[in-house]
Amino acid sequence: MRPPAFWQTDAGRGSAALTRALLTPLGAAYAWATQWRIETTDPENVYIPVICVGNLTLGGTGKTPIVRALLAMLEAAGHHPAALSRGWKGRLDGPAKVDPETHSVRDVGDEPLLLAQDHAAWIAKHRVAGARAIEAAGHDCIVMDDGHQNPTLHKDLSLVVVDGETGWGAGRIFPAGPLREPVERGLARADAVVVMMPDAGSEPDYVRLSLADLEVPVLRAWLEPAGPPPAGPLLAFAGIGRPQKFYDALAAAGGEIAETASFPDHHAFNARELARLADLAEAHRATLVTTEKDWVRLPQEWRARIPAWPVAARFASPDRMSGLLSMAVDGSSGQG
């Protein structure tokens, strides 16, 4: 789905304001149900540390690039981590280790398939079962992609990722806004916050984000190109939470964007759509380019024809992030 415009601002009149008002009681019920589940669930423990990378909003905040960065940092420190995802929109319940050679997006979802390109990744609809499978496979720690609102599994470190530009949107709970729960309540369970900025030189508005007086660490991060954009005119397309972030980053890195095409988050591209994009690119004498997350959702025959532009998460203070990981992993042998 594409997020409605009123998710980002309370301004406006007419149908948007009426829709928001009608949806607000549903948001209150959604928040109550989330809080009830958290308060009435006793988290289960496994014998290896669990690091959760979550958020408070629906849509793209940069969680998965942060997960990839943490997996790489843990591996560099001599650990044997594995990612754990729900496998959203995948048909497999798991627990299952993701194999990029044999599994498809329809099997496991796009984010686990992306993580599995470089790291050990597992999917499980039931997180505790997934964590136990990862433990049994010999891994010494888990990085869970999403799950801040899932209380079933004990977490040794809970990170909340927030987009520094869009923040918490209009501050309304889904479906009246993008929030999964009230900001104050969600931040109270966080051990640290990662603010994703558009580049290394941007500073967050900590007051607007309700982070100025937070007692837990607040770290700044951004996505950095892992390589130059393809040469020549480009037709950039994306089906992620905020496609414009991809286009802006591509242009900032020197990409010559001739045209863009945006699709809903997690969009499953079909051959007809891709043929139309190829025709449009030919009309512009441009090269098709997309994100890594979109690339894993392309039909196999199109992957050789369309390059992905890789990016990686970078931290303003990597030593602080390493310290948090060390406290969670080296300072804990699990709680089981």
Q: Are 286 and 325 in contact (CB under 8 A)?
A: no
DSSP state of 6: G
First to last CA, the chain: 39
CB 290 within 8 A of CB 236: yes
Specify binding-site residues for ATP: 57-64
**Dihedral sign computed on CA atoms, order 244, 109, 267, 269:** positive
Q: How far is CA 84 from CA 38, 63, 131, 157, 331, in A?
A: 20, 13, 7, 14, 21
Report whether 291 contacts 240 (CB < 8 A).
yes
Cα 277 from Cα 236, distance rounded (Å): 9
Location of structure tokens 């009681």:
25
Q: State the pairing for strand pair 157-163/50-54.
A: parallel
Q: Which parts are annotated binding residues? A: 57-64
Residues 168-192: b if buried by 16+ CB within 10 A, e if exposed: bbbebbbbbbbbbbbbeebbebbbb
Residues constituting the chain? 336
User: What CA–CA distance (Å, rounded) separates 163 from 154?
Assistant: 25
Separation CA 97–CA 153 (nearest Å)? 19
The reply to whether omega before 95 is within 30° of 0 (cis) is yes
Three-state DSSP class for residue 71: helix
